[in-house]
Structure 1
Amino acid sequence: MRTTDEGWGLADDPGELFGPTNVRWDPTVQWFTGDGFAAHLRSLSPYRRLGRDVRESLLDAVAERIRTRRGDRARRRCLSALRVGRRAQ
C-alpha cells in the first residue's frame, strides 16, 4: 500500500487474486474516560499477558491518572487503512 497527499490511491501489486485495488487512509480519534481507557488497554495483548494482580493495579493507576490529571479525558489516535479491489477473473 502507499499513501498520497489526498489520503488514497492505487496500490501497487495487488497479487494474483485481485485486480487493481484502491486504498483509503482514514485518521481516527477516539475519546475515553479514565475507566474506558483502562478497559480498552485491558483488551490489548501486552496487558492481557500480565498477571491479574499486576494488570489490574497498573490499569487502576492509569485510570486514576487520567481522571485526576487529564480531566477524565484521554485521546487515542490511529490510522485505519481500507483496501478494496475486485476479484480477478
Structure 2
Amino acid sequence: MTRPNASKPAYTPAPKPPYTGNGTEVVDNLTADTAPASRLLAIAAWHDRDWRGRERHGRHKRIAARLRQVAALVAATTVANDNAAVRAAA
C-alpha cells in the first residue's frame, strides 16, 4: 500500500534529435502535374498570412515562394499545351 502523500516520479521526456531539414520538405517534390495553379496560389496565400491577417515568416515564407514557383511552371505548361486556343483560332 502506498502512502497518500507520496510524490510521483517526475516525467522526463526523451531528448529529440536536432532538426536538420530546410523547412520546405513538404513542397520540394512538387511538379507541374501536382495540382492546378489556382490551388497552389491559394495555398501560398494561406502560408503568407495567419488567420488574424498577420504576416508569417520563416518556413511559411519559403513554402509560399516554392508554391508560387511551381504555380508559374504549371501556368507556363498549360499555356504551352493549350490546343483549344489553336482550334478556336482556326
For normalisation by structure 1, the TM-score amounts to 0.28
Greater length-normalized contact order (CA 8 Å, ≥ 6 residues apart): 1
Q: More strand by proportion, 1 or 2? A: 1
For normalisation by structure 2, the TM-score amounts to 0.28
Q: More helix by proportion, 1 or 2? A: 2
